[in-house]
């Protein structure tokens, strides 16, 4: 390739978001520095290894419990997906577990939770 032929990779197909219109870079860097410690609670340091993030989870759960309406019916379903690795026998998975009802030795168990707040009753007359 001739010199300069690689320049076309510098042009993105997606237009830039132009964040500089809304926030200066130094301000964004300050926010990034502060953001991980927003929910940190030093009083939990000795008793909870998640003390830096646990208050965020607690607040999320409180808001979810008090502001989101729960469904009348809940249905749990699961599906299994086989996975055949190509590079190694286990696909470099960090943990291999045996599930009796899994049709293939390697794969994923996906659990879905469905919420219903209404239902239809179909009858024939």
pLDDT tens-place string over residues 18-50: 778 888 889 989 988 888 888 888 888 899 888
Whether the Cβ atoms of residue 37 and residue 52 lie closer than 8 Å to each other: yes
CB of 68 within 8 A of CB of 97?
A: no
Q: Which residues of the chain have pLDDT under 70?
A: 1-14, 70-72, 93-99, 102-103, 105, 116-125
Q: Is 124 helix (H, G, I), strand (E, B) or coil?
A: coil
pTM of the predicted protein model: 0.41
- What pLDDT is attached to residue 1? 47
Task: Kindly write down the DSSP assignment for every residue of 41-64, as one continuous string.
Answer: -GGGTTT-TTTTTHHHHHHHHHHH
Determine the length of the chain: 125
Helix (H, G, I), strand (E, B) or coil at 37: helix
């Amino acid at each position: 390739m001739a010199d300069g032929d690689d320049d076309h990779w510098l042009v993105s197909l997606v237009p830039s978001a132009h964040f500089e219109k809304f926030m200066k870079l130094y301000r964004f860097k300050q926010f990034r520095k502060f953001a991980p410690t927003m929910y940190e609670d030093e009083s939990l340091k000795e008793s909870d290894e998640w003390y830096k993030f646990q208050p965020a989870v607690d607040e999320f759960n409180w808001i979810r419990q008090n502001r989101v309406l729960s469904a009348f019916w809940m249905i749990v379903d699961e599906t299994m997906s086989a996975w055949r690795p190509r590079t190694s026998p286990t696909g470099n998975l960090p943990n291999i577990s045996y599930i009796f009802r899994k049709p293939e030795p390697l794969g994923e168990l996906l659990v879905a939770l469905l919420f219903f707040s209404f239902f239809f009753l179909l009858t024939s007359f």
